Structures are given as C-alpha cells and as structure tokens.
C-alpha cells in the first residue's frame, strides 16, 4: 500500500534562506497503483556505474552518499522545483510555514549553476543589506557556488542566529563583484500588513501565504473598514515580491474578496489525486475541524468596493493564483508587471526514514482555464518598472530557469498575451503618470512606523486609478 500523499502547497516558488519551501499538507486517500515495468537494461547500467565508482574512484565513497546523489540528480534533472529532501530539509519543510525561521531572508532559484535572487523578504537581513532581485550569488564565504545544488547552497546560508556569512554577488550594471557580509537572524515574517492610506482608501500587503494569513487579513479588513468610519472607495492588495506559500492561504485571500463558492483555481495532472477544483468555501481555507469561518463575517463592502491588485516579476505561485482569480472574475484590476510564471504543482511524497521527494505532479489553471506556466499573469494596466535600461537583466521569471516546464497550451504564443499599455489606457480611460527617473532609492524605504513609502510609484498609480473610478467598480 502506498504511503499517503502529502499535497504540496501548489504554490511555493523556490527555497527561502533558512527554511525549505512553504507547503500545505493535506492527506489524499490511499490507493493501490500498478507499478510500471522496471527498465532492466538501464538499471543494469546504473548498477555497473555504482560498482565502478565504489571500486575505482580515487577515494572511498559512502554508499548512502552515492545513492542520495543519484536520487537527487534524478529529480533535479526534471525541472527546477522537483527535489530530494533529506531528513533536515524535510523537517524544515514541515515547520517552515509558521512564520518564523533562521537564515538570511531571500527567495532564490538556480540559474546557470549559480544562486539567483528572486526577491528579498521584507525586514530581513538580506533586505536591510540591499540584496536585490536578480542578484547572482557566486560565492558563499570562500566557497564557489558553481557545482552546488540549490539545497546545498541553502544549507550553507543557514546557521545559528547572530553568525556572519559573506556573499559575493554579481549584479547587472556593476563592473565588479559586490562583497557583502550579513548576520544570520531569526526571520519573523508578518504575512499581512495594512493601513488606511486616507479616508476611503485601504491598503493590504501580503508578504507571504502562511497558515494564519487568511485570518490575519480578515482581522485587518474588519479593523480598517471600521476605522474608516465612512464609505470605502478603494482597496489595494499588494502582492509584489510575494513568493507564494500555502494553498489554503491563497484561497482564503481570494475568498475575502469574492462571492462564496466562486472557483479560485483548479489543477490537472496525470493522476486522479492531482485533479482538484478549489472554490472560495470554508472547507478549502479553514485548517482543522470546528474552526470559525472568519471570511463569512467580513463586511459585504469587501466584495464590492473597487479594487486594484499590484504585482511584479517577484509575485509567484500563490500570488499568481490570487491575482488570476480576481482578474478572471473581474473583481479587481491587476496593475504592475507580468508575474513570475510558476504554474506547476509539487507533491511531497514521504519515503520513510524521515526523507521525502518533492515531485511536480500537475499544472494549475485560473478560473477561466489559463495556464500561467512560464508566462505569468499579465497586468490589465502595465506599469513601468524602471528596467528599460540598466536594470533589465534583473528580472527573473520561471521562463528563465533551466529545465522549466513549458506551457502545455500549444496554440498560444506568449507574445499574444503581452500587456498592451495603449489598449489598457483606452479600456479603462486611465493613463499612468510617467515613472520618475533618477530617484534616490533611500526615498523608497518606508519611514519608521510606516509600511509603505509615500514615493511608491506603483501604489500611487493604483490610488490614482481608484480615484478616477469614483467608487464605481470596473468590469
């Protein structure tokens, strides 16, 4: 009898420094599966290679090490997200969604044998040290990253809080490598930040989808709608640089702004276990039995007030599920840049001895049937991200990762879905203001006690758009 499958939170992107990928464990019914015939000739070749290495390699090699590396190579050769999880990685994977872990606080992937930064996490050592999306980490202390697996690199970057590590970084536009020493810390992620920007306009930022994200968002919505003391005119949901997280968190956030029972996402793969349809219903976002439905008590206005969702290239997986659902149901206007494009599902398969494999088992689709794999969510209103010149090489997306899965919709070219600024201006009767040039990056850092900078270009454009609607929802 096969072990129970542990369904991975469809949605996490890569590996966080200090913890493996966030996940959503939900048991799937046990079932017998017929074993495929073993490839005898290929296994014979594997056995021969194993024997030759054991007998002829210049130094003795441990059997466990050889088998582990073989398993890891089998999985990492499939796509950027499948991997073997040893005891340490599997343990951290199971506890990594609590919102607290040790490390540097950066979301990463592999590119050309090096570690490439997708996005630093808010308020982390990496963010405070100025690590940027697109930075290529080439050395950890005195060790070259070339040749390491992503898990190996992550292990080296993890460590006890208050211990230092030196990163050597190659950055687009810089003539010399950048050497920066960071101090490891316990990363405490506040997954929901919120603020009443001005009377009638409220801002919610989701930094990552964790176990309590839905509940935290519901509390923030209730509090700020009461604090407003008047009609709400506009909502901004900020998913920029949100790398993903738990599936139930994505469904919960979507459910806060959609009618009960609305389709949020569905998945499709080769097995029956990989075919799911998830609606905005309590059974899909409440974790555990006899828990109160925190979404049901939200003010009705939350589902009707004009809304903008902000996204960029760092918005991945769970973020893309939410943006795609709100966009397909015409609940919100998506503004920003095309998202990361991770549209695949990973399942955790325990192997015994506290190890597991993380295997890509399905693709996910938005309610209208769009696959975003290697394409991303295209914004309704594109905004200049300031990368037209020296920053162009910093944008990292799924399509840039080696061995990424292709979109299985063969009839559509990616170019057909490019955001069209002129068409958006005509449809919404709104033209974004030009992005200011030569802005001092220090002015983009929120002031003490604030969660967003007053010079945040994308947020300012979102508010300008909502004000142009006059409190009337745009379809």
SS3 letters across 277-291? EEECCHHHHCCCCCC
Determine the Cα–Cα distance for residues 441 and 455; give it in Å rounded to an integer: 10
pLDDT score, position 88: 82
How many helices (H) and strands (E) in the chain?
A: 11, 22
pLDDT at residue 409, as a whole number: 56
| Least confident interval from 91-105, 175-189, 453-467 | 91-105
Does residue 67 sit in helix, strand or coil?
Answer: helix
Residues 116 and 327: their CA atoms lie apart, in Å, by 29
Cα separation, 101 vs 245, whole angstroms: 14
In whole angstroms, give the CA distance from residue 398 to residue 261: 30
What pLDDT was estimated at residue 71?
93
405 pLDDT higher than 90: no
Sign of torsion over alpha carbons 244, 248, 254, 256:
negative
Higher pLDDT, 53 or 90: 53
3 state SS for 23-87: CCCCEECCCCCCCCCCCHHHHHHHHHHHHHHHHHCCCCCCHHHHHHHHHHHHHHCCCCCCEEECH
- C-alpha to C-alpha distance for 120 and 108, rounded to whole angstroms: 9
Give residue 82's pLDDT.
93
Residues carrying an active site annotation: 317, 328, 342
Confidence (pLDDT) at 8: 34
| Residue 144 or 391, more confident | 144
Q: How far apart (Å, rounded) are the C-alpha atoms in residues 387 and 105?
A: 24
More confident residue, 356 or 159: 356
Q: Six-digit token pair at 3?
A: 């072990």
* H or E stretch covering 83: strand 83-85
> Which residue shows structure tokens 């015409």?
330
Task: Give the model's pLDDT for residue 394.
Answer: 55
Q: pLDDT at position 388, please?
A: 55
Highest mean predicted confidence (pLDDT) among 47-51, 133-137, 289-293, 442-446: 47-51
**Residue 456, C-beta contacts closer than 8 angstroms, at least 6 positions apart:** 444
Q: Which pLDDT score is estimated for 414?
A: 43
**Residue 366: other Cβ atoms inside 10 A:** 23
Residues comprising the chain, all counted = 475
CA–CA gap between residue 310 and residue 241 (Å, rounded): 10
Share above pLDDT 70 across residues of the chain, in percent, rounded to a whole number:
84
Handedness of CA 423, 331, 397, 439 (dihedral sign): positive
Q: To the nearest whole number, what is the mean pLDDT of the chain?
A: 84
- Contact 258/331 with Cβ under 8 angstroms? yes
Strands 333-336 and 381-382: parallel
Domains, the chain, with CATH or none = 100-188 (2.30.42.10), 192-345+362-469 (3.90.226.10)
Stretch 95-112: mean pLDDT, rounded? 71
In this prediction, residues 154-159 reach a mean pLDDT of 84
Residues 453-463 have a mean pLDDT of 96
């Amino acid at each position: 009898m096969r072990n129970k499958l542990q369904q991975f939170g469809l949605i996490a992107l890569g590996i966080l420094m200090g913890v493996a990928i966030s996940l959503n464990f939900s048991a799937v019914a046990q079932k017998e599966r017929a074993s495929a015939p073993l490839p005898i000739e290929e296994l014979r070749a594997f056995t021969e290679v194993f024997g030759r290495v054991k007998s002829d390699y210049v130094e003795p090699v441990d059997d466990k090490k050889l088998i582990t590396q073989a398993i890891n190579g089998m999985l990492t050769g499939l796509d950027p997200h499948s991997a073997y999880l040893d005891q340490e990685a599997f343990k951290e994977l199971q506890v990594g969604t609590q919102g607290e872990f040790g490390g540097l606080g950066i979301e990463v992937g592999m590119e050309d044998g090096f570690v490439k930064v997708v996005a630093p996490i808010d308020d982390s050592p990496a963010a405070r040290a100025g690590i940027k999306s697109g930075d290529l980490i080439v050395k950890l202390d005195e060790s070259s990253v070339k040749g390491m697996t992503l898990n190996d690199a992550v292990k080296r970057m993890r460590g006890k809080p208050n211990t230092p590590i030196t990163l050597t970084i190659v950055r687009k536009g810089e003539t010399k490598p950048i050497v920066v020493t960071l101090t490891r810390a316990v990363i405490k992620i506040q997954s929901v930040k919120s603020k009443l920007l001005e009377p009638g306009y409220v801002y919610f930022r989701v930094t990552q989808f964790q176990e309590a994200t839905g509940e935290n968002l519901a509390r923030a919505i209730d509090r700020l709608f009461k604090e407003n003391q008047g009609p709400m005119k506009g909502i901004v949901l900020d998913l920029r640089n949100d790398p993903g997280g738990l599936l139930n968190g994505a469904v919960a956030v979507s459910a806060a702004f959609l009618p009960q029972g609305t389709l949020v996402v569905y998945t499709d793969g080769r097995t029956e276990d990989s075919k799911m349809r998830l609606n905005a219903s309590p059974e899909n976002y409440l974790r555990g039995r006899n828990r109160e439905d925190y979404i049901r008590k939200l003010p009705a206005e939350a589902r009707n007030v004009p809304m903008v969702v902000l996204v960029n290239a760092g918005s991945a997986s769970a973020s893309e599920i939410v943006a795609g659902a709100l966009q397909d149901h015409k609940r919100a206007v998506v503004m920003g840049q095309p998202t990361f494009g991770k549209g695949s599902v990973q399942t955790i398969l325990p192997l015994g001895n506290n190890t597991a494999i993380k295997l890509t088992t399905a693709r996910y689709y938005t309610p209208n049937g769009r696959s975003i794999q290697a394409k991303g969510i295209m914004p309704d209103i594109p905004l200049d991200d300031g990368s037209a010149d020296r920053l162009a090489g910093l944008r990292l997306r799924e399509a840039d990762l080696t061995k990424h899965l292709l979109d299985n919709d063969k009839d559509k070219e990616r170019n057909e879905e490019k955001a069209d600024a002129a068409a958006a201006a005509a449809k919404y009767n709104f033209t974004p203001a030009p992005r200011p040039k030569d802005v001092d990056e220090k002015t983009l850092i929120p002031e003490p006690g604030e969660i967003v900078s007053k010079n945040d270009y994308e947020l300012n454009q979102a508010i300008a758009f909502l004000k142009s609607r006059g409190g009337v929802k745009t379809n």
